[in-house]
Structure formats: C-alpha cells, structure tokens
Structure 1
Amino acid sequence: MAPRIKDGDAVVAINGKWITWTHTVFAYLAFFSALIVGMSLHFRKIVQNEHYGYPDEWFPSVSATIGDRYPERSFFQVFIAITSGPRFALVFLWYILTSRPKSTLPKVVAGVGLFRTFTCGGWTYVTSTDDHDWHDIFMISYLVATLPWTLGCLALSQNRRAAKYRKVMASLFFGTLVPLIYFFIQHKVHKVAGAYTRYAFFEWSLILFDVGFDAVTALDFEAFEIVVRDVKGVSRGQLKTTADSVLEKEKGKPVGNTFGQGFSWGEVADAAADVYNGFVFWSMCTALPVLVWYFPLWHMGISGYEVAIVAYAAPLFLAIPALRSAVIRSPRVFQFLAVSGLFAYKTQDPANRLFLTIFSLSCTLITWAATLYAERANSARLETRIFGWGLGLIMSTVSKFAFRTNNPVWPIMHAENGGWNKVGIALAILAALRSYRQPSVSGGDYFPSSGKKGSGALAGLGVGGLFFTMLSLLTESSTMIAWVWDGFPVRGPIAAPHGALVIFVMGAGLVFGLYYPRVAGSWTAFGIGSLGAAFLTCYSHWAGFYGALTLGFYTMAVTPVLLGSAVRHPPATSFGIGGVFMIFMILFHVWVVAYAFVPGGPLVRERTDWLMITNMLSIGAGVFSAAVSNSSAPKHKPISPNGRKQRSYYIYILAVLQLIAVAVAYLRFPTNNYTPYHPEDKVATMGIWTVHFGLDNDMWASERRMRDVIQELELDVIGLLESDNQRIIMGNRDVTQTLAEDLGMYADYGPGPNKHTWGSALLSKFPIVNSTHHLLPSPVGELAPAISATLDMYGEMVDVVVFHSGQEEDPEDRRLQTEYLSNLMGSSSRPMVLLSYLVTKPLEGNYNTYVSDISGMKDIDHTDWDRWCEYILYKNLKRTGYARISRDSITDTEIQVGKFVVGQPESEEEMMIPEEMVPEGLRFPQLFRGQGVRGHRYHVFDEPRYWQ
C-alpha cells in the first residue's frame, strides 16, 4: 500500500517540556559558567568597583561578570546564543497553547515575548563596556517588557499548578527589586563598603527567578509533542509516535484563565480611558495655581488674578438642577469642555492662557463631581471611577517624575521646553470618547434610603482636606523629599530614585483602600496617618520620610472611603464645600510663607504645623461622616464577579505605572561624570543668578533655557535664588533636578518648603563634602535662606555660601542678617566665595559689614558701582575674572560670574590685564561677546574683566 504522502511518517517526536528544560539549562549555564570562570581567573578585578575592592567587596555583579573580560564574556555569549533557539520555541509553544479564536491577548503576550528575546540579545552582545547607553536602553526595555510578559502569562495560565509556581516566581522577582535598589543606593550614593556585594546577590537572584518563571512552562508543555514528519517517505522505517492522538486530544481544551474567562480588551480600553481622564483632571488642577502665581510674581504684589482660584469651588454650580441633570445626562460633552485647557499652550498671551485654564478646570471639577454622584447607584462603577481618578493622580505624578517635575501637558510647556501637548490632547480626546457614557441610575439605591448618611458639611470638609493633601504633597514625588532634605552628606532620600518609592506607596495605599475600606476608614488608620503627618512636619532625613510614606499611604487608602461618603449627599454640598475649604487651605499654605506681602499674613507666619493640623482635622471630619454612613451598611459586602474583573484591569494599569516609575528611577539615578570644565588649570568658575522660580517673562517653564546658558558659560558652581517651587502655587516643581542631571552637577536645595522661605540652591561640579541650611534672623519681613557648603575643589576644601537677604522694606532684618552672615563667613579660615543677593549699594551701608575685617571677604570688583542685589565676594582665593551676562527673557535678574584659581595665593595687586594676556583656560567664552547668543551677552562692561 502506498504511503500517505499528505500525512507522512513521524520521524522524531520530542515532548514539549524538553524545549523548556533546554532553555532553562542553557540560560543558567550562560550565567553561572561565566561566574565560575570569572571567579577563577579574574576574581579581584570583577569584584572591584569605583569605590571599593577586595576584601570589602567579595562577590561580583552580573554585569561585571558577563561583560567585562575574556574568556567569561565568551562563555556567556556562546551559551546565551544556544539559548535563543529554545527561547523562540518557548514563546511559539506558549502562543499555540493559549491562542483561541477572537482572542488578542495571546498575540500581545507572544509579541512581548519576542521583544524580550531580542532585547535580551541587545544587552547581551552590546555590553556596558562597548556602549553604555545602548546597553542600558536594551536592559531597561527588557525589564519594562518583563511586567506585561509576567502578567500576560499569569492571565493565560491554564494549569493551576503552573499558575501557582508562576505567582511564586513573579513575587520573588519583583520583591527582590526592593532590596536590590536599596543596596544600589547604599553603594552609589552613600558609598557603603560591601553594599555592592549585597546588591550583587540580589541581582543574581533576579536571574534565578526570571529564568525560573519561564521554566514553569515545562508543566504546560507536557501535553505537547513536537513531531518531525517525513511527508515524502524518504526515511521510511523511523520512529512513529502517538503525537496525532495527543494533539487531537488536547485540541480545543478550554483555557483556565487565572483572572477569569472574560478578559476583554474593550474593558481594558475603558479602564485606560478612565485613568487618562483622571490624569487630565490632575493636570488641570495643578496647572491653574502655576498660572496664577505668574501674575503676582511679575507684578511684585497682589495682581487681582489671584481670584482665579475660586474655580476650585465650581461644584457649587451643581446646586442648579438643570446643570446637574445636563452633566449627568451628557458627561462626554462636559469632558470635552474640560479638555479645552490642554489647548491653552497655543495662546501666547499669559492672561488668555489663564482664562482658558480657569474654564477648563471648572468644567473638569463639575464633570468629576457629577459623574461620581451619578454612579452612586452602582457600586462597581463608582469604584472604578474612584480607582481611575486615583490612578490618574499616580499617572500625573509618574509623568512629572519622568519629566523632572514638569507635567508635559501644562500650559507652561510647549515643544521648545519639553512639552508633549499635542500627544496629551490626542489621548485626552480619545479617552473622553471612550470613557464617558450616560451613567446607570437604576437598579436600586447603592445607599439604603433608610440608612444614615452622616453630615454633608463634614463629608465636604473631608473631601477638601483629601484634595489639599493630594495637591500639596502627592502631585510631585519629590515634594515630601524636599521637606525632609537637610543638606550633605546624604542622610535621607533623594528625588531619584526615592521618588519611585513615594509612587509605589501611593499605589499600594489606593489598592488597600479599595480592598479594605473599613480598615482604611477606621480611627486607628486616621491616627496612624496623623502620626505620619507629624513626623513629616517635625523631622528630617529618614524619620521624616517614613512619616511622609505613612501619610501618602493613608491619604490614598482613605480616598475611596471619603469619596464614597461624599456621593451620598448632593454634590453641591459635599464637593462644593470641599472646594471652598480647598481654597481656604491654598490661601493658608501661601500665607505661611508670603506673610510679608498679604493682609493678615503675620497671623499665620511660619505656621506649617497649624496648616497640617487643620488639614488632618478636616480629613478626620470626613472620616467621622463616613463612619456614620457606614454604620448602617453591611460589614462584608460581596464583590460581584464583574467587579473583581474590573478591578483586575485597573491593577494591571497600576502595575504598568509602577514599572515605569522604577524604570525612570533607574534612568535618572545620578551617575554623572562630575568633571569641571577646565581641570588642567584648576579653575573654578562660579556664578549667582536669581531665577524667579523658573518661569520666564512669557510664562513658559525656563529650565532648558537656564541649562543652556549655564553650560555655555562653563559654570562649575552656581547659586540659584528664588528657586523653591515645591508648593501648590508653583506647581510643586524643582528646577535643580533638570539642571543637575543635564549638566552633571551635584545639587543642594534648601531650606526646604516647610521652612517658609523662597529658597536657595547650590549646583556644583565639585563634590559637596558638607552643607548646612540657614534661616537668618527676620523679626519683621520674610525669612532669609542661606546654604553654606564645603566643596572639594581639586583636593582643596573651599567654602561656598549662597544667600538671599531680606527685602528693602525691612532694614532691621537686613542689618541682623548682615551681622549673622558676616560672623558665619569670618568663622572659617578656608578659602571662601559668597554668591549672594544683598539688597545694598556698593560701598554703602551693610556692604561695609559684608566686606570687612569681621568677614574677611573682598568684593570681586569694588569698582562696579552699578549693582544693587547680586554680589560675589571672596577670600583666600586667586580671583582672575569677572563678568555680567544679560538675562534675556528668562528672569528679571542678570547672571554674575567670577573665575578663581584654586591652590594659588590671593593676589595682593589690583592690576587689571587685557584678555590677550590671560591663559585660554581662564578666559570667559567668546560666545557672549557683541550681540551674544539668544539674548545673552556681556553687558555693563560689554566684556569680561581680568586680573593678574
């Protein structure tokens, strides 16, 4: 009988599990063979890092083992190349196992699996030694893809035993990231001996868990046989198997989805749209105060535009029945009106930008309050609205973390300064189209009509306190870090990477509040949250930061409780009162620092503690109202299957946001090469600049323009004044983050926003050995901030002081501050430079105390009579140059720059010399001569001045 050509004879059959075992064995061989060879041949070299070697460090990191030396690098690359075949087969078999008609999730997971495989090849064959940037790009891409691969595999698991092991491996993998990051910070920032060895153990653990996660597929692939068929009969007589019967038996088996059969990409899109609408909400809420702040800033006093903050009380309009009904019936229309604020960046006139944002925010708040109220009849949908709103806050915070404290869709952003306005608008339109439909108002009252509802006024106070806490502390991951930062050496958290920890705690708190609302809404939880607020207010460093994390967790956890209570009352009552209280709190938090410029300011001068107490009491009022409401509700309310499924989509989105935050923290971790511009001449170029809070004359964020001119001036050290933006009215921003990271400089900022000053900052190419923050005497006017720091300049300790004195209207304050600072400078015998804002005329008044035998300081150019605010003073350093550079439209104050040579005695003569006699490395850049560049040029003298 002739052979059946179509079916053919089975030549070889391999059980599918051997694909997994081959992948597992060769993957482990790749890493551990390199480890064994490296430890045998180059032990001391691969355990050496930039700070320590053996015996302080005695175990190598993964990157040092597999990428730095031959032959271990070759062992790794050979075995990982062998692994690639089984890896592609593993992804293919997983797709075959999970693919079903009309199901797109398996295709997405397979695509992610292929992407991970290619990026693995990228960081394998392009090592950090070859190209550090591309190695990091491939590595970050691989880690980012790990989350959707892990979640996708869990969602598609059809074997309970395999799903159990996957959960264990995934938990170990992501749990290991916490100590991994901790020990990396201990090594990189704190330079702790042995920390890198501990880091290395956790890094190797990640390899074990990552490969182990994929090894679990052996349990799934036992049902497969890979068969080679001879369809032309050329190898008659070879092995025949039962592959057909096995495959036929397994064909069409139902998928046991860990997260249920009903996974729907449409519902994922709904969840994503809800979250993005929440992002737009928070973008508008944080944008308005920044725009309002611009006007008193440039008017140097009350401008009248401050009244714009009444927009936060817009839910009061929902007292109009017709409007409330219109919003409930057509929320999509009002959401489109809310999106209008994203177009404000197209308007050049600052006032028009403000007016459009006021309108947008009002529509945003009205839509939000009415939508939550309308969903009160459906607990599952109300929960998703609250979850989406909370995740929108986290998304906003993540975006600011990624864009270094600026929200990319703010009206102060555009393409030239890093804005993503067009992308933001496109996504907002799609989200509005997708998300808002007519709410379901039938199906029974979510809150029994006979039950207690508490007090609407108290519920409103709770909403207002919650809103204020979020807006003032949680819309930027580095705000609370700025509260507890107190100078060098580093004794607490830093913006990157610890901002990711703030974001993680926010997400954990939100999930906890949704799953355990009774615990989150208890008085015990309120007490713990209040204790966290007290620690944040009263302590610095880690103790204060632990309080910050506690407060952040509690705030997010109590969110579902307070909002769930608020919707039991008419929205004009609960959300309207909340908005009014929010306005009061915004003014309160401005008054504590701006007391010298506002009516009644001295009454709350420097009383951040009162502010925090008032805020926590308002949240307590909301908790009380919620407790009354919940007293009549069932203690254990069952969650519907649909509700559980909806929760899972939002948790997926939260996981993605958390992974993005971790990736941003990794990418932003300070690993710059802090090298001065002219080390061969031992030159230190120092400058002072009053940056007017990082908003330029036309109301655009000015960090990039500031960065460019600082870099072109080749400044090694610069003092920034009026630089503290970590308040609601300034958008909770930090200009030093962009400048320090882009310019490769150490950054110190302070005293912090809870110390009631307008801020000072120090950026340095030289290591900051030690720094102290000062609040100078100020019995009448505003507090004067100062930073005194010791820098390691070419092996010599040099003191630098950055100082902003009080205003012209307060002469007694300025006299006391002058005495304080002069004594401070006189107490040091080291070389010193003062970068300052003194508010005095040369050779007159307080000038003669700053430049005196008490301080020992000299003026960089006592013949420069055209000064009033900015001064550079020095002692025990050789001064070689001085220049004044125009500001263009970045701020209202010029840049003053001095050049000093470290290690040479101070010149006794005052003889000026022409530039031709100055060595090249000691000259100021030619770029700023004549008309200069982008409006920056040498002015007053029209050229730099040089001394022998």
Structure 2
Amino acid sequence: MSKEKNWKGTTPTTKSDALNKPGTSLLSVNGKYVGWAHTIVAMSAFLGALIIGCALHYKKIVQNEHFGYPDEWFPSVSAAIGDRYPERSVFQVFIAITSGPRFALVILWFLLTVAHRPRLSMMILISGLMRTLTCGGWTYVTSTDDHDWHDIFMISYMVLTIPWTVGCTLCTRDANARKWRKIVATCFFGSIPPLIYFFIQHKVHHIAGAYTTYAFLEWALVIFDVMFDAVTVLDFSALELKVIDAKGVTAVTEPKKVLATAGFNFFRFSIDVANATIFWSVLTALPLLIWYFPLWFMGISGYEALLVSICAPVILYISPLRKFFNLVPQLPLLLGVTGIAAWWIPGPIPRLEAVGFGAGFCCIAMANTFANSASRPLLGTYKGSAFILGLIITSLLKFAHWTNNPIWPIMHEANGGWNTAGVIVGVAAALLVSKPQKNSAQVPVHPSETSIGAAFGVGGIIFALHSLLSDTSTIILWVWDGYPVKGPVPVPYGVVTILAMCLGVWLGTKKLANGWIPFLASCVGTTILYSFHGWIGYAGGLTLTVYLCAVAPAFLENLGRYNSGTWGLAMLVTTLLYLAHVWIVAYAFVPGGPALRERTDYVLIAQQLSIGLGVLAQSKISNTKNNTKSNASTDASLLKKIRAHVMLAIIFIATATVAVGYKRFDQPAPVPYHPEEKLMTAGIWTVHFGLDNDMWASEVRMRNVIEELEVDVIGFLESDTQRVIMGNRDLGQRIAEELGYYYDFGPGPNKHTWGCCLLSKFPIVKSTHHLLPSPVGELAPAIHATLDVYGELVDVVVFHSGQEEDVEDRRLQSLGISEIMKSAPEGRPLILLSYLVTKPLQDNYLTYVDASGMTDIDPSDWDRWCEYILYKNIKRTGYARISRGTITDTEIQLGKFVLDDKTPSTNNRIQDENQVPAGRRFPDLFRGQGVRGHRFHVLDEPETGSGSPRYFE
C-alpha cells in the first residue's frame, strides 16, 4: 500500500491511520477539474437555454422590436436566456450551480499567482469576485424584470472583464496556457466592434437581419468568455486540492506578526474617502452660494468676503488650538458637515453663512488630517489618494445628477437632492475618523526646504482640481466647437474624464508624477487644452487631468511636514486664484476688472507657476532619512496595501461610472411636439444661471414649464455655469436628456461670456459660435445653427447683447448680428431668439429689424425691453409671453411657426383662437392664474383683462 504525507509532513502507516489521525488527507482532487466543472456547467446553462428556447418558442425569441422571422432567424443571448419559461429557469439553475466552481476558480487563481505577482493577483481577485456577483445580477434580474438594472449589471460585468482578462493573461506562467489566453482574448475583444456596428444597424437604422448577425456575435462573446476560463485546466493541473481532517491541529498556530500596516485597512480608507467627499462638496458649494448675491446686486455685494473662510486653517498656527483639534479630530469634521446640513435653512443669507462656517471647518479638518503625515511611512500617499478619490466621487455624483452635486445646499427633495443621506454619511464618517499622528515626533525640516513653496503647490493644485475637474463636462466644454461634432461630448465622454482621474490616482501611488518632467508634460497639456478645440484639446486636458490627480498626494504629504497652519496660506493662494478666475469674465462689474479681462491664459499660467513652486519645494526636501524607523520590507508592505485599497476603490468607481454613462447615453431620438402640423414652437429665456429667487437649483422647474409649453426650440441666455462661482454645472444637460433635445452649449467657458445655449427637437445640421464686438463691456455671445425641420433647413440665431450702459458696444453688436443674419442663404427661413437691450421701434431695434431684413414677431408689443423674437421666410402663427414664476428674473417668450405654408405672412392681423387648429394653439394650462406662477401675461384679452397668447393670420 502506498503511503502519502499528511499536511504536517508525517506519513501514515495504514489506510486506517490516514483516515483517523489528525492532519490526514481524506480526499485529493486535481485542480484542473475545477476548470472542467466551470466550463461544462456554464456552457450547459447557455446552450441548454438556447436549445429549449428554439424548441419551444423559436419564432417568439427571434422576434425583436422591428423584425421577426424570417428576417431575423437566430435569437440573441438575452432573448434565449431571459424572456420565457422554462428556458429562463434552466439557465438560472445551471448558473447557480456554476457559482461554486466559479468562486473556486477565482480563489485558486489568487493562490496560484499571489506569490510571484502579489498586486496583480489582488486585482484579479477583486475583479473576479465582483464579476461573479454582477453575473448573478444580470442573470436573476432579466431585461423583462427591470431593463435598467439588467443593463447596469451587464455593462459592469463587461467592464470587469477587462482587468480579469488582462490580469489573468499577465499572470499566466505556462507558455501553452498563455498562448491560448491571448488567442481567446483577441477573439473576444475583436468581436466587440462589429457587435456594436450591427447593434447600431439594428437599433438606429432598422436594417432587417442585422440583429441576427448581432446575435451570432453576442453568442461568440459568450463562448470566448467561457473558453478563456477553460484554459485554467492547463494552469490548475499543477494544483492538488485536499480535504484534511485537521481536528486538534488548528489550535497549533504560529503567533501573528504585527506589521506596521496596522490602521491601513480598507474600512479606514473608506472613511477617509467619505470625509474627502464631504470636503469637496462643501468647498465647491461655497462659491456657488456666494454667486447668488452679486448676481442679484449686479456687482460686488459684500458677501464675497465669506470666501476667505476657507483660509481658516491659519488659526492652527496657535499651538493650543492645533493640539486641541489634533486631540479631537472628529470636531472640525462634524462642524464641517454644517455645510451640507445648510439645506435645512430656507433663507439665502443664513444658508450661505452656514456653508461658509462649514467650509472653514472642512479646511481645518483637512489640515488636521495631513498634519505631520510625513512622520509615518507613506501615510501622506494613503491620505492623499483618499483625498483625490473623494473629488472623483463628487464628480461621479454630478455625472449621475446632470452636473449638480445632490448633497449641495442648493438641492432639496423637490429638485433631486440627497441632502439627508449626505448629512448621515458626513456625521458617520466624522465620528469614525482615526486620530492624526499626534504622538509622532515632528519631522525634521532641512534649512533649504520651504513651506511657502509647498503651500503654493497645494493651493494651485486645489484650484486646478476645482476649476477643471470638479465636473466631468468642464474640459469637454472648453474644447466644444459646435456641430457637426468634431470632438468629445459630455455624455458619454465624461466617463473617460473620470477614468483618467482614476488613472492619475493609481500612478500617484507609484510616485510616477514627481519631478520636473511630468510637470513640464502638464504644462504642455494645459497649453493644448487652452489653444485647441476637439480631440486635440481634449487630449491636452486629459494629460493635465492625469498629472493633477497623480501629483496631489505627494504635494499634500509635503505640506504635512510643516505646521498645519500652513494650510491657511495654501487656501489663500486658492482664494486668489478663485478671484482671478472670476475677474476674467466679471471684469465689467468688479474693481480693476479690465486688468484681467478675458485673460484665461494668465490664470492658467498662475496656476502652473503655483504648482511649479510645489515641485520646487518637493525637490528641496532633504535626502536625509526624515521618516521614523522603517525598512524596505515594511514600506513595500505598506505600499502594497495602499495600492490594493486604491485599486478596489477605482474598480468600484469605474464600474459605477460606466453604468451611469451607459444609462445616460442610451436615450431615444428627440421628437417634435406637433409633427402633424409641421409646427415649430421657438422660445427665448434668460435663465439667470439656474438659481431661482430662493437660491435653489432650478433645472427641474425649468424642465417642467418647458415640457408643459411644448417648446420645440429654445435658447437659454445667462447659461454658462462652468466656473467655480457657478458650481461647474451645465444647465441644459438634464432638460435635453429628460425631454429629448439636441443640445448646443454655445461659446465655451474659456470664451469669457455669461453664456447662451440652444436646445432643439430637430437635428442640428451645423452650428457656429460667435463673440460680437465688445470693446468696453461684457462679451456678447451668439449661436448660429442650421436645423433640419421636417426635411427643410431652418436657421436659428440665439444672441445676448451687452449691458445698457455700454452704448457703443450695443451698436456694434447690432451691426454684427445683422451681418450674421444676412449671411444666411437667400430664401432660407431664419429665426432670431435674442436679448437686445432696446425699446421697440427705436435705436438699435431698427438695425436688428430693418437692416437685416427681419420681421418682429409682434411690433405692437410695446412693453418689451430685452427679449425679442424676429423672423423671415417663414410663416408666423402665434406669439406668447409667459411669466417666470420665481425661477429667474426674465419671462419666457414663444413664437409658433409652420413649415407647410410657403407664403409667410408679415401682416399683423389677429386671428380668433377658435379659428386656429388645436395642434397650433398654446396650452390652456397657462390661462388665468396659470400653474406654479407661470401664466400668460401682458397681452391682454379684451373681455377678461387677463394675459393671453396672440394668433396671426
């Protein structure tokens, strides 16, 4: 009888001994059978469902939304496995059975690779486990049950396939297995482009038979996916799985080694990320709430002084205060949550004061967090990575909520706020925070080192992160240049921006952004972002993005070497950059404004110089060993933990980002409200930067009234909110997606205007952006767009003139916009949606109307001052003015035009509403008192005296 050694190295003498002695092997199975079990059961699930589905419901499962048998003759994966009983049950049962071998396969891979590729094996383990869980999600939540969640789980599964496939291939040591993995992975990823192509042919172009081809490619992906994991048969053949009778042996354990990694755990890391998320939410809210006041005062209001509250860490120069906050780090964090809880305060002034109070303590809390972080190996990297991940999470929250942070104090339940959840998370994270290194000795500082340089570096970094990366659409709108699309758009390319930020955090853990060469690369990226549009400009922006997120942890660690009051100086630098960032566009309303008029380049240079001083300060850190006692093995162990935690957070963030991007991108094509009438309802509205009279975000209320008015084309003015003072928001995104509009942002945030944008139910064939002559006052933006309206080209111009005080500016602008309107092809319909700052029938009005050959929609309306609708070569049938409610300070003006009548009327004979077809009328909802403060006004009805629309013959 052959003998085998048990797990302690002893050899049993008989079979009986082997079964009864502690440590005896009871069962031994070669590891390759895990791979075989996974392959067989997984293929049984898919093929079983396919065979049963074809046998029982063939014509039903090949039917799709556009075609059926015989045009489509092969079922998609989702139709075969999820639509009908019993094939769905067969699939679900076998997938449940597959979970056992699947979890075993993932764990065995980790055990097989952890010795020679520890960090990569951790990524494989995390992505493999999450991939298994998301597989369960799309298996048991079918597209019939909940289409959105099914798609979210499915897209998450596909995204997680990337790190799983790449990681497994890199870790494969067997040459034959690696060859097969490369072949199968190439086939898998090579099938995706044609899969997308045929899906578009089916979904968008409605090509018969395209879905069958798509289905074959989808099944090929399934087969390649299973085949990739089937290669584990080769890898696991070197493993032996044993069941050991270990009774009595488990008590004999070696004492655990206590490493310096104590406290570096993912729970603590998550708490730091949560606190950083609160910090960024409050910091970005403060300038936004301040902006409400100069907006109404049309100049300096005095409340701008609250911006200096972020310099509050300067009080930490006082030793007793520094020691107190170090002793109770929970206190400044709890007080910082006031900035989130401020939404409970109804009045704008006390709400702003609460946010200023919270922002000050948030900055004190961050200074406290990084205090003396250099005294412990890699603590600055650990805390700094959490700090940037907090920013990324706020950007993700804004990406998911159409550029509004749901825990900002301009949000509440009615407009989509998650304020209560934000307060709960903030309080919990504050209470659970770990104490700073209060017992550690202060790190020795070399005489050549400079705290001022370190402060400038952190100040510049925080400003750059806030102004460019606190929203995923900011750098995209910097390079946006109109239709046809020649570069990225906010959805889905906001996903790419977040992934670039995640890449930066990961590179930061490898210290790859330190030094002058990466800094020079960031300067090149900044220059490209400023100088170019489209993909080239975006590439420059992504270069800067990766650098900022990668170098920030090192800068924060460096600042932690000095007195924590130095954070006050850093935030003063940020404050000065904030003011410069505002002055370049608000030059007409602030003292000394002309010095920075339209000088974004100056601000970017100041930003990069500040960061450069941070790099210089880093380079001056003494080469002597300043850290507490540590050794290479301890540092490696710490770094391994940090990278594992960062990678796990990145996987979660990336998966959520892709899911959000997919859900937002998958929208139906816009449809006009009354195609049966060939009707186009066009409007103009000055939206006051999306803050209503009570300082709440107004996009939801704007959306509601636009939907109820059935507007096909509308221009928004005062709509550029892509600055720190406006929250880096995009007012049109939510309305465009939820109501179905094509969307043109207009001159970008680097063009120094208050903004204009265009939303259209009709495809935008072409658009150009203009800045009209403005030698003295604020810049006047315009969009000239050509729309495909029921198969006919129609030009629409959206325009915002300058201030009343700047007479010459407005005269030159009237000539400039007249030239744009005259440039439209002869005979083509043209509509001007505008803010002209003139009275009817006099002054510049005559230039806009007579010189350009345009017709006023209603010359008898004497009560207008700013908003006008002009037209030519198109039939006008109706005109209305709708009160703003409390959303803004300007009304909505609407005109109705029809495309089926080639004899446009310029007479102003009023037509009785009863003679107007129902589809061409304005909604009755707005008669009398209207709804939510919106009603027809000014144009009086003789009988009732109330406001009403007008209809023309």
The aligned residue for residue 494 of structure 2 is 499
Question: Is the Cα–Cα contact under 8 Å of residues 445 and 561 in structure 2 kept in the other structure?
Answer: no
1:857 is aligned to 2:854 = yes
> What's the RMSD between the two structures over aligned residues?
4.6
| Structure 2, gaps ≥5 residues long | 1-25, 109-122, 940-946
Spell out the pairing of 1:218-617 with structure 2 (5 A cutoff).
247-248=243-244, 267-439=265-437, 441-442=439-440, 447=443, 449=444, 451=446, 454-515=449-510, 517=511, 519-573=512-566, 575-617=567-609
Please list the CA deviations of residues 179-236 of structure 1 after superposition, one character each: whole Å capped at 9, or x if unmatched. 96999699979999999999999967754564346546767998999xxxxxxxxxxx
Tell me the SS of whatever aligns to 1:780. Answer: coil
The aligned residue for residue 228 of structure 1 is none
Question: For residues 129 and 515 of structure 2, what CA distance do their matches in structure 1 show?
Answer: 45
Question: For residues 183 and 350 of structure 2, what CA distance do their matches in structure 1 show?
Answer: 51
Question: For residues 346 and 555 of structure 2, what CA distance do their matches in structure 1 show?
Answer: 40
Tell me the SS of whatever aligns to 1:406. Answer: coil
1:626 is aligned to 2:618 = yes
Point out the more displaced range, 19-28 or 842-851. 19-28
Give the AA of the match of 1:729: I
The aligned residue for residue 135 of structure 1 is 147
| Structure 1, gaps ≥5 residues long | 1-9, 55-59, 226-244
Tell me the SS of whatever aligns to 2:932. Answer: coil
Question: For residues 277 and 337 of structure 1, what CA distance do their matches in structure 2 show?
Answer: 12
CA gap of 1:323–1:64, structure 2 versus 1, over 3 A, is farther
Please list the CA deviations of residues 303-361 of structure 1 after superposition, one character each: whole Å capped at 9, or x if unmatched. 10011110221221111111111111111121111112111000001111111111111
Question: For residues 551 and 183 of structure 2, what CA distance do their matches in structure 1 show?
Answer: 26
Tell me the CA shift for residue 461 of structure 1: 1.0
Question: Is the Cα–Cα contact under 8 Å of residues 124 and 167 in structure 2 kept in the other structure?
Answer: no
Question: For residues 864 and 525 of structure 1, what CA distance do their matches in structure 2 show?
Answer: 61
CA gap of 1:720–1:598, structure 2 versus 1, over 3 A, is same
Point out the more displaced range, 556-565 or 840-849. 556-565
Tell me the CA shift for residue 111 of structure 1: 9.8
Question: Is the Cα–Cα contact under 8 Å of residues 27 and 79 in structure 1 kept in the other structure?
Answer: no
CA gap of 1:197–1:501, structure 2 versus 1, over 3 A, is farther
Identity score, percent: 44
1:731 is aligned to 2:727 = yes
The aligned residue for residue 229 of structure 1 is none
Please list the CA deviations of residues 384-421 of structure 1 after superposition, one character each: whole Å capped at 9, or x if unmatched. 21111110011111111111100010010010100001
1:85 is aligned to 2:93 = yes
CA gap of 1:199–1:325, structure 2 versus 1, over 3 A, is farther
**TM-score (norm: length of structure 1):** 0.84
Question: For residues 77 and 888 of structure 2, what CA distance do their matches in structure 1 show?
Answer: 50
The aligned residue for residue 893 of structure 1 is 890
CA gap of 1:437–1:528, structure 2 versus 1, over 3 A, is same
Tell me the CA shift for residue 907 of structure 1: 1.6
Tell me the CA shift for residue 607 of structure 1: 0.7
Give the AA of the match of 2:889: D
Tell me the CA shift for residue 92 of structure 1: 3.2
Please list the CA deviations of residues 131-155 of structure 1 after superposition, one character each: whole Å capped at 9, or x if unmatched. 6x93342121244367789999999
Question: Is the Cα–Cα contact under 8 Å of residues 116 and 146 in structure 1 kept in the other structure?
Answer: no
Question: For residues 558 and 194 of structure 2, what CA distance do their matches in structure 1 show?
Answer: 39
Question: For residues 568 and 831 of structure 1, what CA distance do their matches in structure 2 show?
Answer: 67
Question: Is the Cα–Cα contact under 8 Å of residues 95 and 106 in structure 1 kept in the other structure?
Answer: no
Tell me the SS of whatever aligns to 1:598. Answer: coil
Tell me the CA shift for residue 247 of structure 1: 3.6
Question: Is the Cα–Cα contact under 8 Å of residues 670 and 741 in structure 1 kept in the other structure?
Answer: no
Question: For residues 789 and 63 of structure 1, what CA distance do their matches in structure 2 show?
Answer: 44
Spell out the pairing of 1:705-724 with structure 2 (5 A cutoff).
705-724=701-720
Give the AA of the match of 1:477: T
Give the AA of the match of 1:530: C
CA gap of 1:201–1:450, structure 2 versus 1, over 3 A, is farther
Question: For residues 487 and 153 of structure 1, what CA distance do their matches in structure 2 show?
Answer: 38
Tell me the SS of whatever aligns to 2:722. Answer: coil
Question: Is the Cα–Cα contact under 8 Å of residues 298 and 589 in structure 2 kept in the other structure?
Answer: no
Question: For residues 449 and 334 of structure 2, what CA distance do their matches in structure 1 show?
Answer: 34
Tell me the SS of whatever aligns to 1:571. Answer: coil
Number of equivalences? 881
The aligned residue for residue 882 of structure 1 is 879
Question: For residues 320 and 537 of structure 1, what CA distance do their matches in structure 2 show?
Answer: 42
Tell me the CA shift for residue 440 of structure 1: 5.4
1:752 is aligned to 2:743 = no
Tell me the CA shift for residue 23 of structure 1: 2.5
Tell me the SS of whatever aligns to 1:851. Answer: helix
Spell out the pairing of 1:164-175 with structure 2 (5 A cutoff).
none
Question: Is the Cα–Cα contact under 8 Å of residues 45 and 95 in structure 2 kept in the other structure?
Answer: no
CA gap of 1:200–1:393, structure 2 versus 1, over 3 A, is farther
Question: Is the Cα–Cα contact under 8 Å of residues 505 and 552 in structure 1 kept in the other structure?
Answer: yes
Question: For residues 386 and 199 of structure 1, what CA distance do their matches in structure 2 show?
Answer: 45
Give the AA of the match of 2:492: P
Question: Is the Cα–Cα contact under 8 Å of residues 82 and 88 in structure 2 kept in the other structure?
Answer: no
Q: Please point out which of 925, 930, 933 is paired with 1:935.
A: 933
Question: For residues 594 and 195 of structure 2, what CA distance do their matches in structure 1 show?
Answer: 46
1:823 is aligned to 2:822 = no
Give the AA of the match of 1:813: D
Tell me the SS of whatever aligns to 1:373. Answer: coil
Question: For residues 836 and 189 of structure 2, what CA distance do their matches in structure 1 show?
Answer: 48
**TM-score (norm: length of structure 2):** 0.83
Tell me the CA shift for residue 578 of structure 1: 1.4
Question: Is the Cα–Cα contact under 8 Å of residues 368 and 436 in structure 2 kept in the other structure?
Answer: no
Question: Is the Cα–Cα contact under 8 Å of residues 786 and 793 in structure 2 kept in the other structure?
Answer: yes
Question: For residues 798 and 843 of structure 1, what CA distance do their matches in structure 2 show?
Answer: 26
CA gap of 1:777–1:392, structure 2 versus 1, over 3 A, is same
Please list the CA deviations of residues 718-747 of structure 1 after superposition, one character each: whole Å capped at 9, or x if unmatched. 000000000000000001001100110000
Spell out the pairing of 1:639-650 with structure 2 (5 A cutoff).
639-650=635-646
Question: For residues 741 and 596 of structure 1, what CA distance do their matches in structure 2 show?
Answer: 34
Tell me the CA shift for residue 376 of structure 1: 2.5
Question: For residues 784 and 222 of structure 2, what CA distance do their matches in structure 1 show?
Answer: 45
Give the AA of the match of 1:483: W
